[in-house]
């Protein structure tokens, strides 16, 4: 019994030691944790610093200084959200610390919490009415709330209380810029420099102002003056680097980016320097910076960024395997990183794995549907797979998220051109050339869209811009040739096409231009010779074989055209154009039975192309008005390939005309349209089925699209008029029918059109 108290006492001592509660005063412990955290923070060891500051807060939840230092740590580590929240806690616990209150207000303003920022400023001004920092903060908050006059008055007070301080004057200049008073803004900037001759801040602000006005030559010396006053001014170094880069003076940029790294020791600055090295072809220097960052980066995000850029270096060097390993490592580190996902998509696309790229791109959109970059990546993959309709939707979403995304407008233009929608392509191309008049890709796409839409007169401006480029390209020369040919300048057009062909002998557009000139001048033999020479080098080019068939057809050599189309089908069994022209030739030759037998045998021998073969059989039956047999052939085609576009379209039309199942006809028409969205006849079929179902709004949409794709087709305009009439919109119905008759007074159905027009007056 005598030993029991001793044992009990030893247990208490052990518990106290373990809890650190009996050997150390909590006040001392929290101060030691604060001091330890501050040492880690000075060494930029943010994780360790955060642990120490949190330890101090656990000891005293109302320890304001620990909350403040934790906030600083989080902000420097890049955790802006939690950093701001922690700073607000610190400000609440340190109400008499004016500097903390003002900094809290500045952070609130930067995060868009304008009313809260204004409240902080007014709390400080309640204690110190002449505090210039608080006055500037309140003025900026008022400006954010669109009270520009109130902001102006507040800044005037700040200037009155501190006339030799450049900060309120520079803020006044920024306010005047927002008010559109550029001359007053410039005067305020110059006054700021005058009252504080040693203010680097004022000069940086003025330099950026001049640069924003396009006065780069004036901005540069001002920024250099700022750096002379304070060589370690981070903003001045960054601004001068940006200005020099915008002027194309890339070799001069490096020292300023390196200075930012030395001054800030920030990983983001290292990433920017590495990006500069990548952009200037200095892969080894980039790799050195990035390898260090990947190994010693302060945050997982910075390590991921470094790894992804190293993957880019590896890919540029031709080491796709290493690049993929680095990207996969980044994804393993940060599975929800949208940047890592985008890098994986690009890698898969560049290594011709389009199916995997599509799955990855869709995953990126799932990770962040609001990411313009994710939508852009999806659009690129869909374009590469030939799904231009889906691509157009993705690029449209990019532009909804970021209306200034020029690259998305470029890609949207390409998609609309591929879809046969030149009018829409003109709209997106004009946005590019308006935003960036010197963007030669934009000018080329605008010229092509205008020429495709038949607006030759408007094409003159972009074609002139293309012609003014010092170093011509094959694509640019082809567009010049097309414009010259369209304006009756055949000799000059031929020169451009020939020059394009010399620059790029493989350019089929240049060859097509020359062939069309040969044919328009009645010289089919020259066209045949020209294509024969190319076929010697490329005997299995499907596009070249189809072009050859078209020339032979014009030259009335149907047998040769048929042979060329058979070769095209052998080279590309999915070539709908080759099948379509081949069917037309057999119809022209009236070799219906022979042709049908041939295509049935082809379907039996090559099941993979059976859908196309049975489609041609259906076309041949339809040409003989054997509609039951035609429908059976189309059904066989669809049984093999439910997405066979021509079979689906033609069957939908026949079903709608012959009293068939309109719901099934609608499904077929929608399938055909989705597979070939650039065909106006498919839009017409879809519209017709909607019309038959009395769905006039949907019919109008489909007919409108078809009319945009084929603006000179009277039948489409007539059908559009019928849909408007069904809706009860007589004005638009009358306009559409009149346009149809103006295009061709004797088109099939013109008598019915006149009858309809009589009911609309």
Place of tokens 């290594």: 351
Residues in Cβ contact with 682 at an 8 Å cutoff, skipping those fewer than 6 apart: 645, 649, 669, 672, 673, 676, 706
The Cα 626–Cα 761 span in angstroms is 40
* Residue 595 near residue 631, CB atoms below 8 Å: no
Task: Please check whether residue 63 is in contact with residue 37, taking contact to mean a CB–CB distance below 8 angstroms.
Answer: no
Cα angle for residues 613, 614, 615 (degrees, 5° grid):
90
Nearest-5° angle of CA 22, CA 51, CA 20?
Answer: 10
Contact present, 241 and 226 (Cβ < 8 Å):
no
Q: Average pLDDT across each block of 10 residues of the chain; the chain has 761 residues. List them in order.
A: 42 42 70 88 84 87 87 80 85 88 86 87 88 87 87 88 87 87 90 89 89 88 91 90 87 90 83 83 80 71 77 78 82 80 84 86 84 90 86 91 91 88 88 91 93 89 92 92 93 94 89 90 89 87 88 87 85 72 78 76 69 84 88 90 89 91 93 82 93 93 90 92 93 93 91 90 75
Distance CA 555, CA 559 (A): 11
- Token look-up 């910075």 returns 302
- Residue in 706, 654, 650 with CA at minimum distance from that of residue 680: 706
pLDDT of residue 76: 81
**Cα distance from N-terminal residue to C-terminal residue, the chain:** 119
Q: Are 682 and 672 in contact (CB under 8 A)?
A: yes
239 close to 207: Cβ distance less than 8 angstroms: yes
> What is the DSSP track for 408-441?
HHHHHHHHHHHTT-HHHHHHHHHHHHHH-TT-HH
Residue whose entry in the numeric block shows the structure tokens 């949907």: 698
Which candidate, 453, 474, 470, 451, places its Cα nearest to that of 461? 451
503, two tokens:
């620059």
Report the alpha-carbon distance of residue 218 to residue 222 in Å, rounded.
7
Strands (E), 448-514: none
| DSSP string covering 632-657 | HHHHHHHHH-TT-HHHHHHHHHHHHH
Given the structure tokens 């006054």, which residue do they identify? 191
Task: Yes or no: say if 565 and 546 are a contact pair by the CB < 8 Å rule.
Answer: yes
DSSP code at position 299 = S
Task: Check if the beta carbon of residue 729 is closer than 8 Å to that of residue 710.
Answer: no
Rounded CA separation 56/60 (Å): 6
Cα gap 504→473, rounded to integer Å? 9
pLDDT at 667: 94
User: pLDDT value at position 755?
Assistant: 92
Token pair in block for residue 105: 């207000």
CA proximity to 78, closest of 36, 115, 50:
50
Decide: 759 and 726 in contact? Cβ < 8 Å: no
700 vs 228: CA distance, rounded Å: 67
Q: How many CB atoms lie within 10 A of CB 302?
A: 20
Rounded-to-integer distance, Cα 701 and Cα 720, Å: 9
Compute the distance between CA of residue 560 and CA of residue 738 in angstroms, rounded to an integer. Answer: 43
Give the angle 504-510-515 at the CA atoms, nearest 5°. 140
H runs (alpha helix) in 606-729? 610-623, 627-640, 645-657, 662-675, 680-692, 696-709, 714-727
Residues 6+ apart with CB under 8 A from 717: 707, 736, 737, 739, 740, 743
CB 233 within 8 A of CB 264: no
Distance CA 293, CA 316 (A): 20
The 3-class secondary structure across 271-283, one letter per residue, is HHHHHHHHHCCCH
From start to end of 329-440, where are the E strands? none
Query: What local confidence, expressed as pLDDT, does residue 302 receive?
Result: 73
Question: How many Cα atoms within 13 Å fall on the side-chain side of residue 154?
Answer: 25
Q: How many CB atoms are located within 10 Å of the residue 98 CB?
A: 16
DSSP helix/strand/coil, 48: helix
For the record, the structure tokens of 362 come out as: 């869709």
Rg from Cα positions in the chain = 36
The confidence score (pLDDT) of residue 170 equals 87
- Residue for token pair 């042709």: 595
- Which residue matches tokens 């054997």? 626
| CA quadruple 57, 61, 67, 71: dihedral sign | positive
192 C-beta neighbours (distance < 10 Å), count? 25
What is the rounded distance in angstroms from the CA atom of residue 668 to the CA atom of residue 648?
A: 5
Cβ count within 10 A of residue 663: 11
pLDDT of residue 589: 75
DSSP 105-166: HHHHHHTT-HHHHHHHHHHHHHH-TT-HHHHHHHHHHHHHTT-HHHHHHHHHHHHHH-TT-H
For 452, residues 6+ apart whose C-beta sits below 8 A from its C-beta are 417, 422, 425
Token digits of residue 664? 């099934």
| Residue 55, Cβ density class (10 Å: 0-12 exposed, 13-18 middle, ≥19 buried) | middle
Per-residue tokens: 706: 């078809």
DSSP string, 158-213: HHHH-TT-HHHHHHHHHHHHHTT-HHHHHHHHHHHHHH-TT-HHHHHHHHHHHHHT
For residue 749, what is the DSSP state? T
Token reading at 521: 């001048």
How far is the CA of 621 from the CAs of 596, 606, 653, 655, in angstroms?
Answer: 8, 21, 15, 15
Rounded to whole angstroms, the Cα distance separating 26 from 625 reads: 99
């Amino acid at each position: 019994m005598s030993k029991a108290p001793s044992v009990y006492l030893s247990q208490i001592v052990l518990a106290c030691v373990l809890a650190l509660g009996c050997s150390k005063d909590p006040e001392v412990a929290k101060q030691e944790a604060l001091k330890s955290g501050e040492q880690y923070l000075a060494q930029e060891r943010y994780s360790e610093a955060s642990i120490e500051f949190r330890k101090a807060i656990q000891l005293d939840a109302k320890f304001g200084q620990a909350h403040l230092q934790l906030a600083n740590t989080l902000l420097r580590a890049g955790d802006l959200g939690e950093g701001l929240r922690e700073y607000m806690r610190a400000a609440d616990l340190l109400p008499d610390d004016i500097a903390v209150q003002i900094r809290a207000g500045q952070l609130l303003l930067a995060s868009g919490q304008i009313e809260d920022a204004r409240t902080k400023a007014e709390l400080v001004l309640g204690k110190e009415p002449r505090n210039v920092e608080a006055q500037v903060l309140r003025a900026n908050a008022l400006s954010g709330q669109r009270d520009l006059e109130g902001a102006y008055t507040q800044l005037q007070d700040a200037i009155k209380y501190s006339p030799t301080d450049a900060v309120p004057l520079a803020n006044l200049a920024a306010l005047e810029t927002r008010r559109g008073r550029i001359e007053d803004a410039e005067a305020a900037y110059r006054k700021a420099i005058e009252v504080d001759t040693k203010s680097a801040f004022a000069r940086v602000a003025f330099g950026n102002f001049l640069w924003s006005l396009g006065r780069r030559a004036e901005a540069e010396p001002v920024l250099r003056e700022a750096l002379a006053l304070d060589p370690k001014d981070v903003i001045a170094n960054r601004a001068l680097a940006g200005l020099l880069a915008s002027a194309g003076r890339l070799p001069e940029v490096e020292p300023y980016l390196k200075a930012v790294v030395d001054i800030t020791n920030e990983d983001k600055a290292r990433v920017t320097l590495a990006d500069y090295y990548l952009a200037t072809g200095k892969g080894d220097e980039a790799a050195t910076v990035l390898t260090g960052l990947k190994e010693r980066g302060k945050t997982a995000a910075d390590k991921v960024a470094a790894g992804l850029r190293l993957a880019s270096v590896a890919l540029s060097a031709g080491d796709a395997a290493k690049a993929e390993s680095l990207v996969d490592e980044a994804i393993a580190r940060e599975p929800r990183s949208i940047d890592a996902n985008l890098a994986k998509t690009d890698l898969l696309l560049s290594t011709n794995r389009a199916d995997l790229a599509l799955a990855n791109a869709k995953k990126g959109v799932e990770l962040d549907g609001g990411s313009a970059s994710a939508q852009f990546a999806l659009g690129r993959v869909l374009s590469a797979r030939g799904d231009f309709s889906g691509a157009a939707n993705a690029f449209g979403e990019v532009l909804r998220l970021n209306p200034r995304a020029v690259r998305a407008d470029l890609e949207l233009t390409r998609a609309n051109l591929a879809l046969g929608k030149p009018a829409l392509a003109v709209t997106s191309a004009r946005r590019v050339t308006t935003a960036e008049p010197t963007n030669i890709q934009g000018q080329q796409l605008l010229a092509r869209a205008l020429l495709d839409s038949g607006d030759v007169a408007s094409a003159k401006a972009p074609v002139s811009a293309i012609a003014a480029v010092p170093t011509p390209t094959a694509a640019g020369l082809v567009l010049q040739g097309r414009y010259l040919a369209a304006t009756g300048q055949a000799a000059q057009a031929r020169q451009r096409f020939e020059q394009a062909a010399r620059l790029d002998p493989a350019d089929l557009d240049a060859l097509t231009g020359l062939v069309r000139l040969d044919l328009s001048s009645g010289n089919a033999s020259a066209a045949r010779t020209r294509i024969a020479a190319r076929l010697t080098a490329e005997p299995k080019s499907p596009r070249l074989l189809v072009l050859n068939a078209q020339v032979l057809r014009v030259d009335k050599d149907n047998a040769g055209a048929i042979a060329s189309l058979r070769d095209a089908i052998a080279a590309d069994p999915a070539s709908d154009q080759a099948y379509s022209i081949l069917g037309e030739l057999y119809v022209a030759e009236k070799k219906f039975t022979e042709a049908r037998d041939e295509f049935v045998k082809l379907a039996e021998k090559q099941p993979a192309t059976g859908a196309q073969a049975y489609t041609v059989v259906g076309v041949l039956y339809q040409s003989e008005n054997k509609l039951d047999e035609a429908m059976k052939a189309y059904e066989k085609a669809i049984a093999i390939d439910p997405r066979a576009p021509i079979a689906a379209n033609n069957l939908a039309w026949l079903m709608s005309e012959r009293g068939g199942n309109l719901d099934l006809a609608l499904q077929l028409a929608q399938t055909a349209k989705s597979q070939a969205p650039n065909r106006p006849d498919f839009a017409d079929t879809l519209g017709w089925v909607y019309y038959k179902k009395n769905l006039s709004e949907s019919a109008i949409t489909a007919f409108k699209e078809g009319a945009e794709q084929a603006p000179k087709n009277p039948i489409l305009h007539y059908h559009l008029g019928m849909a408007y009439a069904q809706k009860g919109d007589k004005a638009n119905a009358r306009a559409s029918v009149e346009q149809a008759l103006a295009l061709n007074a004797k088109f099939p159905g013109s008598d019915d059109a006149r009858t309809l027009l009589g009911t609309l007056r």
